Amino acid sequence: MPLAYSAPARQCDAPPATENRTANTQPRNSPESDPGPLRSQFICRTILPTATGQPPNEERHSYDQGRPAQRTHRYHHIRECIAGTQWTILEENDGTLATSSRRPDILITRDWPEPPIVIENEYSVSRIEDDCLNKLGQTLQSALGGQTIHTVVGVYSPKELQDTANGDQAEAMLRNGATLQYAAYNGKPDEYTRFPKSGFITGNIRNLVEFVRPAAEPADLIRQAAETLAKGTEIAAKAIIDAAATNTTIGVQIAEKLRQPWPIEESEDAKQNQANREARRQTANMAATIIINAMAYQQNLDGYSGIKGLAQIRESTNGHRLTKDTVITGFDYILSVNFWPIFHVAKEMLLQIPASTANSMLEQMASTADGIIEAVRHNDIAGTLFQKLIADRKTLKTYYTTPEATTLMAHLAIPEDLDWANPETLKEYKIADYACGSGGIMLASYQRVRDLHRLHNGNPNDLHAYMMQECLTACDIMPAAVHLTASLLSSAVPTVPYVGTR
């Protein structure tokens, strides 16, 4: 099919940021540290709105030492790109960081617990890495949420923008497609990842906006959650295997529900016995993952439509511990509200496990769910978390497309030139994957159409239920795969109910 995505961001051959990371101790308002009076104003006012859509405070946009506050336009070019969110934009404000006197060029704060994002704009490529690393790991003032900065996007702007006479000229250049170069730093100053590893992504201002959301996923948080989930799943899976060793029916029934093997006969071939043990381990891991996933999602829904979190369920028992019966009762209530693809499979898994085994491992599984909940609660990254961490390729015994590849495929396949401002365009747009696996392609495609609607001043959250019920079709031979896909797609707006799925 023809490429419909205009002006895609691409990696260029610009020189990488300096490898010698010496902290810049110059104050932000000194002549040596600030290459021009426009600084980050033209970027912020062109790409990002205030959270409320109201004219920002004049003092917020003024500059020290008599520098002009050229803010003739209070509403910005691509404010619609984050419609439906609650993002607040601060530009070079003093006192934003609790752990440093430095001030970010642009600070984006979002609804708790979503982490803040910093954008650092420079006209010298050698300054970008130091500026970005100086902000990584810093903590915001408590009045701004007190959160840690996990992501900084460094923007290398052309000198033509610096040389413009005023903010209006700079804004006009950006609207007309001026080229920016940018990279994302994620993690801590002493342990971070850079994307791309060298050079920069090249694109216009709209490409930069599209880059900010996925770049804001806190990779260090995801890595930590991955380790927690892997360890917790292995412990729970061992308990299931041990129970099935004395009663093979347990493993066989779990395997039948998941359409996975649970070989029970021993072989004279040592290699075959090893393969059988691995097959049982994989199936048990799948079952444990599904239950922990549902418990984490239950925590995410705590308080919504009368849904009780695990703490409330625990307090309702005599021993103040989770039991098989109380957890299943909680699942049943959630199923009466909605979320059938997520909780029905989890309930079926738990039903196959004897009460004695389930009662002994549920607290550990709840602890694992709590250990990943901070990551799961970030609506922007919940889908990525489920795909990267829950969809264990070995467990599902097949290969799945990486998130990077699915994102590229979605950008190439979904045309940009439709009337995405019109909600009917989304309602008429159908996305289907008939071997959905962990749901990566479905998620990337759904995120793409949501982003396109948002970029054209729409609020995709208003259409989430309709899209889930009528526009998204996913099938797979394995119930676990459908479970994962439902988790991915539901995580886009986890508290919006829908009647059914396709």
Please indicate, yes or no, whether residues 230 and 211 belong to a single structural domain of this protein. no
pLDDT score of 233 more than 50: yes
More confident residue, 373 or 10: 373
Assigned domain for 118 exists:
yes
What pLDDT, on the 0 to 100 scale, is given for residue 109?
81
Q: Which of 81, 403, 85 is nearest to 217 (CA)?
A: 403
What pLDDT, on the 0 to 100 scale, is given for residue 248?
94
Please indicate, yes or no, whether residues 28 and 162 belong to a single structural domain of this protein. yes
pLDDT score of 359 more than 90: yes
More confident residue, 233 or 20: 233
Please indicate, yes or no, whether residues 360 and 405 belong to a single structural domain of this protein. no
Please indicate, yes or no, whether residues 211 and 230 belong to a single structural domain of this protein. no
Residue 479 contacts residue 450 (beta carbons within 8 Å): no
Please indicate, yes or no, whether residues 173 and 262 belong to a single structural domain of this protein. no
How far, in Å, CA of 493 to CA of 379, rounded?
Answer: 7
Q: What is the pLDDT of residues 34-76, one digit of tens each?
A: 333 333 444 444 444 333 333 333 333 333 333 333 333 322 3
Q: Which of 326, 313, 390, 393 is nearest to 359 (CA)?
A: 326
The pLDDT of 15-43, averaged and rounded, is 36
Q: What is the pLDDT of residues 165-197, one digit of tens each?
A: 777 787 788 778 889 999 999 888 888 989 888
Structure tokens at 153: 């996007």
- Band of the pLDDT at 86, cuts 50, 70, 90? low
Assigned domain for 387 exists:
no
Residue 231 contacts residue 224 (beta carbons within 8 Å): no
Question: 75-89, 185-199, 227-241, 473-487: which range is least confident on average?
Answer: 75-89
% of the chain beyond a pLDDT of 70: 75
The pLDDT of 127-147, averaged and rounded, is 91
Please indicate, yes or no, whether residues 370 and 255 belong to a single structural domain of this protein. yes
Task: Count the domains in the chain.
Answer: 3
Please indicate, yes or no, whether residues 239 and 155 belong to a single structural domain of this protein. no
Please indicate, yes or no, whether residues 108 and 198 belong to a single structural domain of this protein. yes
Residue 365 contacts residue 309 (beta carbons within 8 Å): no
Last residue of a domain, one of 216, 239, 274: 216
Geometric angle at alpha carbon 487, from 486 and 489, rounded to 5°: 65
The pLDDT of 312-337, averaged and rounded, is 93
Kind of pairing between the strands at 180-188 and 191-195: antiparallel
How far, in Å, CA of 413 to CA of 3, rounded?
Answer: 7
- Band of the pLDDT at 84, cuts 50, 70, 90? very low
Running DSSP on this structure, what letter comes out for residue 42? H
Please indicate, yes or no, whether residues 316 and 408 belong to a single structural domain of this protein. no
pLDDT score of 380 more than 70: no
Contacts of residue 221, Cβ cutoff 8 Å, sequence gap at least 6:
115, 150, 374, 375, 378, 381
Report the predicted TM-score, pTM, of the whole model to 2 decimal places: 0.67
The pLDDT of 105-109, averaged and rounded, is 85
Q: Which of 411, 24, 461, 21 is nearest to 206 (CA)?
A: 411
More confident residue, 402 or 223: 223
Q: Which of 366, 350, 346, 369 is nearest to 358 (CA)?
A: 350
User: Please, what sign has the CA dihedral across residues 461, 467, 472, 478?
Assistant: positive
More confident residue, 182 or 24: 182
Count of CB atoms situated within 10 Å of the CB of 111: 13
Residue 146 contacts residue 140 (beta carbons within 8 Å): yes
**What is the chain's percent helix, strand, coil content, to nearest 5?**
50, 10, 40
What pLDDT, on the 0 to 100 scale, is given for residue 484?
76
Assigned domain for 82 exists:
yes
| Three-class SS state of 444 | helix
What pLDDT, on the 0 to 100 scale, is given for residue 30?
36
Please indicate, yes or no, whether residues 149 and 279 belong to a single structural domain of this protein. no
Segments in 304-413 forming alpha helices (H): 310-315, 324-337, 340-352, 355-376, 379-385, 393-396, 403-413
In the chain, the amino acid numbered 448 is: R
The pLDDT of 318-337, averaged and rounded, is 93
What pLDDT, on the 0 to 100 scale, is given for residue 111?
64
Assigned domain for 321 exists:
yes
- Band of the pLDDT at 443, cuts 50, 70, 90? confident
How far, in Å, CA of 228 to CA of 120, rounded?
Answer: 32
- State which residues form the domain around 459: 399-490
How far, in Å, CA of 134 to CA of 113, rounded?
Answer: 22
Please indicate, yes or no, whether residues 335 and 303 belong to a single structural domain of this protein. yes
